[in-house]
Structure 1
Amino acid sequence: MGKRVRETERKYEADDRFEQPDLDGLPKVYGSRDLDPAELDAVYFDTEDLRLAARSITLRRRTGGDDAGWHLKLPTTEADTRTEVHAPLGRATRTVPADLAAEVAVHTRGERLLPVVRLKNHRERKHLLDAAGEPLAEIAHDHVTAQFLAAGPQGKAEAVTWTEFEVELVGGGPALLDAVEQRLAAAGLRRSDSPSKLARALGDRLVAAPVPPEPPAEIRTVGDAALAYLHEQLRAVIALDPEVRRAEPDSVHRMRVAARRARSALKTFRKELDRTATDPVGAELKWLGEVLGTARDGEVVADRLETRFAELDPAMVDEGLRRRLAAQHSTAPGQAHDAVVKIMGRSHYFRVLEAVEALLADPPYLDGAKLPAAEGLERAVRHDHRRLRRAVEAALAAGSGRDRDTALHEARKAAKRARYCAEAARPVLGAPAKKQITRMKDLQELLGEHQDSVMCRVVITRLAEDAVAAGESAFPYGALAQLELFRAREIEDRLPQAWKKADRPL
């Protein structure tokens, strides 16, 4: 993927009182250095309906200046700060680099990226310097001409012009931005209403661009709480999408958890949200969780096999076992990840996101959604805890072997649902919900360890069958399976006491 940097800057527009700002004597600024003017020519890319611009994302190919190339700018939660991803200029002028297209695929969702605006900018600039002569900030006076490319780069459209000042931190901190802003305000400049030059160039065209639904401004009812939690999970999935495509550590797992949380919430809040609307969305989220689970489960099993292998008596280890475990660890997770990324490029994946967004844009509230948030959330947390109690008691009563493994897996799923319900309740119920989250997390992790053992034994059995078919001994695989079985029995022995600690509903 392209080089990633943080960009912190503010933009200013001039009013009728504008005078060239005096920047002498700023705190911790010991001088300035004029830089050569730059002639910048940038073509901005977006979908036909401007999905990126509507989300404050800009993607451009710019020539001129000292950073010519492709630039993708992504919003962050930090004030005045964006993440900028760079890619080389290359020869192609109308085809977005694949790495950058992947970064925004969760927003474009299969729609083509087209040239939408061309910006030409005559930039006059200077650096503010520290005592050692190093740059603290760059001050740019931009003279911009923008043309909307309704029909591509050769299309005819009305051009607009304006001037603005841009202050970008180089080595300084936010206090310097504030000090510069005071000087600019005294000279008749004001903070720009547009988050970017692109947004200013597009103007009213952005009004019709599709934007994601907004979460409730405040949580008054249990319906508000359910919706806020679902919004949080959708934002997580969208934020993690490019990380999964880049194969960032743990990204697949975190996206899978967000999808599961959303699906679990649809089940928990069945008295608040109409199931005829939520069940189809839940089915789509289940599909997404299963797709992501393929890669995640491969990672877990490969790591677990490596741990068990290290516990084996070296005398049991033969070359065949060593080779098969190495292959499992090196290829299975990678192949599974490639399959996930391939699926994430298909329309079904994008339909899942759109289904969740449609539900959030028009929530299918039932009368139960009108309950005051605290009352409704307490009821939901207690309901899911009772459901968990039944599942754990069934698991403790189950016989050993496959029946107990299945029952413990069901208890694990119930513990996750109880935990996610408490998470949804935490903004309203506070400390009691936080304690419930901790209890459920501890229980879930214990039961999850048991399920990982079950999955690992399934893979060991398959590897043993492959070894026998190749004329190799199955004995070391039996030893591996026995180690996993010992671990599972240990967890089962700990479960009664763990459940005693966890069985404390609100």
Structure 2
Amino acid sequence: MPSTSSATVAEEAERKYSATGDRPLPDLTGLPSVDAIDVDRFELSAQYYDTADLCLLRSKITLRRREGGDDAGWHLKLPSGVDTRTELHFPLGDDSAEDVPADLGSLLRGIRRGAPLSLAALLVTRRHRHRLRSSDGGFVAEVVVDDVDAVRSADGSEIRWKEIEVEWNSTLGDKTIGRFLTALEERFAAVGITRSESPSKLHRVLGDLLPARPPIAKGLIPVRDYLSSELHTLGLSDIAVRRDARDAVHSMRKAARRLRSALQTYSDEIVVDPDLVDELRWLGRRLSPSRDLEVQWERLTDRVADIPVESHREATRARIDEYFSARSEAARLEAVDTLDSDRYVGLLTRLDAAITDIAPATEAAGARPKVARKELLRAVAALSKKVSRRVDRVGDAENPAERDALMHRARKGAKRMRYAIEVIAPLHPKRSGRILDRFDDFQDLLGEFQDSVVAREHLLDMLSEQGHTAETSFGLGILFRIETEIGDAQAAHLDSGWRKAYRAARRLWT
């Protein structure tokens, strides 16, 4: 049985093209960077798995068990960018083709909403492969012609088609690959080969079974699109957290925070279940320790270089590593336990329903089911007043502890406002881009301040523990002083930073 630890990970860059009849490929010799072509033929058999309601396909994820060729195994493909996907490859082991390995099922628990995975389609592909190489034998690209026979499990229907795939070596650089693809597609166009409308073979087989999105008020389209996008990010981040990928917890927390912020900010315009907001807050809090420890460990390790006595740096760094290592592993396990909980799966299911059934708040009250752009802008304007009040209160703080708490409230309000602007950015793309740049600057200021506050808390915890040497006490004390100075410097720029962000944002509603 494959396990996640046995997986190999690769970035796959490819495009699919439609071919009709027996039309042959154009001549591939003489393409940019290509000096040799190897040709072979073979057959592939693949079983594709999904839930009954196609949760994986709706998330642009494919899971298959493939036999034949030179990459037999379990393949999990995750979207990662334009023309690119991240592929996790697991060895076949002794598993039956009828069952998805438990480790793979666990990795996809959030995406599948706890539902079982079963055979969705069987594909047999007769592949004619052309491997294009450079003068030194390096891999440039692979052009394959696939004759595909597919049977889908839902109704037993059979589908047959021919397609062309081009996969390239992205490490060659954008310019090199750009020249290659331009030349190749010119030759394709000359013989009537065009880009495929289906993003994957499985989508071609099952795409017509995906439900259409229900019509909604025009003014709510950017809200629904934003919520859908962030829920998709949340799902992909879920998989990354389970794999212990770098920055995965940060990405997941941010998606949860954006979902919560959008639901709160536009609660006067759309029907929102307050309990859903509370559940997103719960998720963020459960993920928070893992992310905060990751950030602080890296921050304080980097800061060690600022200790003026070089001989004290190594001992201080060792103390920091000792402090964070045990805590970080415990926090990561807590995060994964959260993702395995029924409460978390229930939250995802409710988010699905809330986005699918999104409706204007006026509709619930029996009034006209319409949301105008100006109503969305009015919500952002109201939020800006709250942030202004929070910023003003910081200046009234009577001591550093109170100032730190008020700065944190201002930071949370500004972040919520930034996310609210992201929601309506499609309505004012150019103007919103400039505004978000200003908010990025302001958030950087507030984020650096908050990181300095948390760093000081960790340093005090370290200093309070037993077993310190003179070197570590000195080093940790120096780091505490540095973090205090950083916090004071950021707080001094709070008013000016907010004024710049606010002046940019108010152009949306004035």
**TM-score, length-scaled by structure 2:** 0.78
Find the partner of 2:68 among 64, 70, 75. 64
Are 1:41 and 2:45 an aligned pair?
Answer: yes
Are 1:90 and 2:75 an aligned pair?
Answer: no
Aligned equivalent of 1:125: 128
The 8 Å contact of residues 37 and 133 in structure 2, kept in 1 or not, is answered as: no
- SS of the residue 2:162 aligns to: strand
Counterpart AA for 1:2: T
- SS of the residue 1:398 aligns to: coil
Aligned equivalent of 2:173: none
Return closer, same or farther for 1:372/1:10 CA change in 2, 3 Å cut-off.
Answer: same
- Who wins on radius of gyration, i.e. which is larger? 1
Deviations 1:235-280 (A, max 9, x none): 3222333333333333322321222122112222132123xx3311
Return closer, same or farther for 1:50/1:253 CA change in 2, 3 Å cut-off.
Answer: closer
Deviations 1:343-362 (A, max 9, x none): 22333222222222211111
- SS of the residue 1:325 aligns to: helix
Q: Distance between the aligned counterparts of 2:479 and 2:324, measured in 1?
A: 15
Return closer, same or farther for 1:419/1:314 CA change in 2, 3 Å cut-off.
Answer: same
Q: How does 1:276-295 map to 2 (within 5 A)?
A: 277-295=272-290
Are 1:409 and 2:408 an aligned pair?
Answer: yes
The Cα shift of 1:286 comes to: 0.8
Aligned equivalent of 1:3: 9
Find the partner of 1:355 among 350, 353, 357. 350
Return closer, same or farther for 1:366/1:408 CA change in 2, 3 Å cut-off.
Answer: same
Gaps of 5+ in 2: 1-6, 170-179, 363-367
Return closer, same or farther for 1:226/1:344 CA change in 2, 3 Å cut-off.
Answer: same
The Cα shift of 1:199 comes to: 4.9
Q: Distance between the aligned counterparts of 2:190 and 2:224, measured in 1?
A: 41
Find the partner of 1:306 among 301, 305, 312. 301
Aligned equivalent of 2:323: 328
Counterpart AA for 1:142: D
The Cα shift of 1:297 comes to: 0.9
Q: Distance between the aligned counterparts of 1:252 and 1:306, measured in 2?
A: 20
Gaps of 5+ in 1: 151-156
Return closer, same or farther for 1:49/1:313 CA change in 2, 3 Å cut-off.
Answer: same
Return closer, same or farther for 1:323/1:111 CA change in 2, 3 Å cut-off.
Answer: same
Are 1:424 and 2:423 an aligned pair?
Answer: yes
Q: Distance between the aligned counterparts of 1:34 and 1:488, measured in 2?
A: 61
Q: Distance between the aligned counterparts of 2:501 and 2:60, measured in 1?
A: 44
The Cα shift of 1:4 comes to: 1.7
Aligned equivalent of 2:172: none
Identity %: 33
What root-mean-square deviation, in Å, do the aligned CA atoms of Structure 1 and Structure 2 show? 3.9
Are 1:252 and 2:258 an aligned pair?
Answer: no
Return closer, same or farther for 1:136/1:421 CA change in 2, 3 Å cut-off.
Answer: closer
Deviations 1:29-85 (A, max 9, x none): 999978554233322222344332454533222222233222233456536x65543
Aligned equivalent of 1:111: 115
Aligned equivalent of 2:3: none
Are 1:140 and 2:145 an aligned pair?
Answer: yes
Find the partner of 1:166 among 159, 164, 167. 164
The 8 Å contact of residues 392 and 408 in structure 1, kept in 2 or not, is answered as: yes
Q: Distance between the aligned counterparts of 2:287 and 2:113, measured in 1?
A: 18
Return closer, same or farther for 1:289/1:384 CA change in 2, 3 Å cut-off.
Answer: same
Deviations 1:103-144 (A, max 9, x none): 6444223333333433344x2525386896988553435263
The Cα shift of 1:403 comes to: 1.7
Residue correspondences, number = 478
- SS of the residue 1:249 aligns to: coil
- SS of the residue 2:273 aligns to: helix
Return closer, same or farther for 1:444/1:5 CA change in 2, 3 Å cut-off.
Answer: closer
Q: Distance between the aligned counterparts of 1:322 and 1:128, measured in 2?
A: 49
Q: Distance between the aligned counterparts of 2:35 and 2:406, measured in 1?
A: 72
The 8 Å contact of residues 12 and 167 in structure 2, kept in 1 or not, is answered as: no
- SS of the residue 1:399 aligns to: coil
The 8 Å contact of residues 4 and 83 in structure 1, kept in 2 or not, is answered as: yes
Return closer, same or farther for 1:19/1:441 CA change in 2, 3 Å cut-off.
Answer: closer
Return closer, same or farther for 1:11/1:438 CA change in 2, 3 Å cut-off.
Answer: closer
Q: Distance between the aligned counterparts of 1:225 and 1:194, measured in 2?
A: 25
Aligned equivalent of 2:270: 273
Deviations 1:13-36 (A, max 9, x none): 75xxx4453745887499997855
Find the partner of 2:184 among 172, 176, 187. 176
- SS of the residue 1:173 aligns to: helix
The 8 Å contact of residues 13 and 191 in structure 1, kept in 2 or not, is answered as: no
The 8 Å contact of residues 26 and 188 in structure 2, kept in 1 or not, is answered as: yes
Return closer, same or farther for 1:168/1:224 CA change in 2, 3 Å cut-off.
Answer: closer
Q: Distance between the aligned counterparts of 2:140 and 2:415, measured in 1?
A: 51
Q: Distance between the aligned counterparts of 2:10 and 2:425, measured in 1?
A: 35
Q: Distance between the aligned counterparts of 1:83 and 1:215, measured in 2?
A: 33
Find the partner of 1:231 among 207, 211, 228. 228
- SS of the residue 2:395 aligns to: helix
Task: Return 452-461 or 335-344, whichever deviates more.
Answer: 335-344
The 8 Å contact of residues 233 and 252 in structure 2, kept in 1 or not, is answered as: yes
- SS of the residue 1:108 aligns to: coil
Q: Distance between the aligned counterparts of 1:28 and 1:486, measured in 2?
A: 59
Counterpart AA for 2:441: D
Q: Distance between the aligned counterparts of 1:74 and 1:390, measured in 2?
A: 43
The Cα shift of 1:417 comes to: 1.9
- SS of the residue 1:453 aligns to: helix
Return closer, same or farther for 1:352/1:166 CA change in 2, 3 Å cut-off.
Answer: same
Q: Distance between the aligned counterparts of 2:28 and 2:318, measured in 1?
A: 69
- SS of the residue 2:145 aligns to: strand
The Cα shift of 1:438 comes to: 3.2
Q: Distance between the aligned counterparts of 2:431 and 2:36, measured in 1?
A: 56
Return closer, same or farther for 1:226/1:120 CA change in 2, 3 Å cut-off.
Answer: closer
Q: Distance between the aligned counterparts of 1:360 and 1:430, measured in 2?
A: 23
Q: Distance between the aligned counterparts of 1:235 and 1:296, measured in 2?
A: 20
Deviations 1:121-176 (A, max 9, x none): 4x2525386896988553435263x45568xxxxxx95847353434345752542
Counterpart AA for 1:85: L
Q: How does 1:175-254 map to 2 (within 5 A)?
A: 175-177=183-185, 179-180=187-188, 182-183=190-191, 196-199=200-203, 207=209, 220-221=218-219, 223-254=220-251
The Cα shift of 1:484 comes to: 2.7
- SS of the residue 1:8 aligns to: strand
- SS of the residue 1:61 aligns to: strand
- SS of the residue 2:66 aligns to: strand
Find the partner of 2:77 among 42, 48, 73. 73
Deviations 1:372-424 (A, max 9, x none): 31x22432232111111111111111111322221111111122122222222
